Amino acid sequence: MKIQILKGDITKIETEAIVNAANSSLLGGGGVDGAIHRAGGIAILDDCMKIRSRQGKCEVGEAVITTAGNLPSNYVIHTVGPVWNGGTKGEPEKLHACYVNSLKLAEEHNIKSLAFPNISTGIYGYPKDLAAKVAWEAVNGYHSEIIEKVIFVCFDDENYHLYSSLK
Ligand code: AR6
């Protein structure tokens, strides 16, 4: 599995799937979630609502998959990161689970390439340096026969520099 680091907007990335840093409602929000729903259009929300009526909300650390609507990718994997609450409320384990469960779901759909945003490091307030380590360990430590490429898409300079120094 090749790991790449890019600086940019995840809605422009052409991997088979992109990952969304969603919230448990799955009904959209700000940050990267807002950008993905805006660029992908109503088809994403329609799929999210179907998932809601099937299983209810999405728990922290879990992941679900929808169409990508008008985006260049085929799928959006929505995962719910933890809100930072000092670091002793299971935040690292939950963040790790976001990455691993997204990778598992990608494999189930035979997805060979996917792109992650820096989950929880915006509105949810997870310290960027700690989140980058968790993300890197989770993805780098995951061995897949199916996934060929993972891109970490960093939107801000701080995350881009942190990821670049981890690699
Ligand atoms: N492409 C890539 N990364 C982005 C983009 C983009 N277009 N826009 C922002 N980021 P956040 P969270 C980065 O706040 O902390 C939403 O309202 C941003 O710089 O989007 O997991 C949800 O509905 C940051 O590094 O997600 C939830 O309620 C990273 O994406 C809540 O925010 C994550 O920031 C989730 O909070």
**Distance between CA atoms of residues 23 and 1, nearest Å:** 28
- Cβ of residue 99 lying under 6 Å from some atom of ligand 1: no
pLDDT of residue 91: 98
The total number of structural domains that make up the chain: 1
Q: For this structure, is 33 an active site residue?
A: yes
Ligand 1 mutation target, pool 19, 45, 85, 155, most atoms within 8 A of CB: 155
What long-range pairs does 64-68 form, CB within 8 A, spacing at least 24? 64/26, 64/105, 65/17, 65/105, 65/109, 67/40, 67/43, 68/17, 68/18, 68/40, 68/44
Task: Give the pairing type, strands 63-67 and 75-80.
Answer: antiparallel
Q: What is the CATH number of the domain that holds 48?
A: 3.40.220.10
For 29-52, give the DSSP string: -SHHHHHHHHHH-HHHHHHHHHHH
pLDDT of residue 69: 98
Q: Splitting the chain (167 residues) into consecutive groups of 10 residues, what average pLDDT does each group show?
A: 98 98 97 98 98 97 98 98 97 98 98 98 98 98 98 98 92
Nearest to 11 by CA among 30, 32, 42: 32
pTM for this predicted structure? 0.98
pLDDT of residue 131: 98
- Cβ of residue 20 lying under 6 Å from some atom of ligand 1: no
pLDDT of residue 110: 98
Averaged pLDDT of the chain:
98
pLDDT of residue 60: 98
Distance of CA 121 from the midpoint of ligand 1 (Å): 7
Range of the domain at 137: 2-166
pLDDT of residue 167: 74
Distance of CA 95 from the midpoint of ligand 1 (Å): 14
Catalytic site residue from 9, 33, 46, 156: 33
- Cβ of residue 32 lying under 6 Å from some atom of ligand 1: yes
Distance of CA 21 from the midpoint of ligand 1 (Å): 6
